[in-house]
Amino acid sequence: MSQSIKVFAPATVANVVCGFDVLGFAVHSPGDEVVLRLSDKPGVNIIKIDGDEGRLPTNPEKNTVGISVIKFLEKIGSTQGIEIELYKKMPLGSGLGSSSASTVAGVFAINELMGGPLSKEELLPFAMEGERLACGSAHADNVAPALFGGFVLVRSYNPLDIIKLPSPKGLYCTLIHPHIEVQTKDARNILPKQIDLQDAVEQWGNVAGLISGLYQSDYSLISRSLKDVIVEPVRSVLIPGFHQVKNAALDVGALGGGISGSGPSIFVLSTNEDIANKAAKAMEKEFLKLGIGNDTYISQINPKGPVVIG
Ligand code: HSE
């Protein structure tokens, strides 16, 4: 058994416009890194968190990485002492699946360090518990794509049923993170508890259309299906300039897009890198007009999820 391991896990786009809590995909960057080390000192100890401006708890019971490592060790009946270092490479409250990337890096790392006793399917519930700690809800549309890579559908939560979806080879994602913060908990609290049947009909038509489009590499169908009549109208008010920013990307040829996860990041999908770059520039410009600084990320779909990097 090796003494230490370093793992990278990627950012993710949850919801993918019409699939609230059931669809997500992974990108290549940004992502978080976690180092785990075997220790003679009993228990799980977080010895370093870098890049969070001192905001994340170092108490392992209150930290998404810490708690998922503790639960993993309990599950396999191990009393091994573990030291954790967490390197945050993306902002908190960004809609980029920041807590999921850390948690997935942690559960993947501990499983590898302990000789791989559990499958990725078996690791998922540990990562979902991290999500519950981060925002009060154990949804899987960030953690599942961060863990499995690619596009993922959460067909059912009870029992948990995760379906890995294909995606067209040429698909590019442009992400823009405006420098404002939206907490997932708040963005969930403003959502309606009940929805109109007519809206539901439109929404599940689009979810089915998007999934068909991914299977058939049908860009026109993907584009037509990237519509959200339930969540976006409510949440977009939290993001200044949302409609201008999104429309600027569509005007230069992006297929469609919307809020990434619970925001404030916005994503669009494109058929090639050139359009993805143009979309980034167009969106950047709109946020800058409003005086909002931002970061952009351009990436193909990440088919792998977490990787051992040291
Ligand atoms: N599906 C989740 C939401 C993703 O939109 O609230 C954010 O964690």
Check whether the bond before 159 is cis (ω within 30° of 0).
yes
With residue 102 as reference, give the H or E element that holds it: helix 98-113
Supply the pLDDT for residue 196: 98
Residues 6+ apart with CB under 8 A from 128: 138, 139, 140, 143
Rounded distance from Cα 115 to ligand 1 centre (Å):
32
Distance set, CA 233 to CA 90, 112, 228 (Å): 26, 42, 8
- Mutational pocket test of ligand 1: of 92, 184, 228, the residue with most ligand atoms within 8 Å of the beta carbon: 184
For residue 161, is pLDDT > 80? yes
Give the pLDDT score at 137.
82
Superfamily for the 172-300 domain: GHMP kinase, C-terminal domain (3.30.70.890)
Per-residue pLDDT tens over the stretch 209-246: 999 999 999 999 999 999 999 999 999 999 999 999 99
Q: What is residue 131's predicted lDDT score, i.e. its pLDDT?
A: 86
Is 174 in a helix, a strand, or coil? strand
The residue to mutate among 96, 133, 142, having the most atoms of ligand 1 within 8 angstroms of its beta carbon, is 142
* pLDDT class of 160 with cuts at 50, 70, 90: very high
Ligand 1 center to 240 CA (angstroms): 19
- Across the range 288-292, mean pLDDT stands at 98
**Can you tell me the mean pLDDT for 157-176?**
96
Per cent of the chain over pLDDT 90 is 95
- Nearest CA to 81 out of 30, 47, 51, 131 is that of 47
Mean per-residue pLDDT for 277-291?
98
> CA separation (Å) from 156 to 121, 255, 256?
14, 28, 26
Give residue 1's pLDDT. 61
Tell me: pLDDT of 203 over 80: yes
Residue 261 and residue 185 in contact, taking contact as beta carbons nearer than 8 Å: no
Which amino acid belongs to residue 47?
I
With CA atoms as reference, report the closest residue to 175 among 269, 289, 93, 278: 269
User: What is the DSSP code (8-state) at residue 236?
Assistant: G
Q: What is the rounded average pLDDT of the residues 164-186? A: 95
Statement: residue 297 has pLDDT above 90: yes
What spacing in Å lies between the alpha carbon of 96 and ligand 1's midpoint? 10
| Domain boundary assignment for the chain | 4-165, 172-300
4-165, which class in CATH?
A: alpha beta
Q: Which atom of ligand 1 is nearest to the CA of 141?
A: 1
Name the residues annotated as catalytic: 131, 184
Averaged pLDDT for residues 70-89 = 96
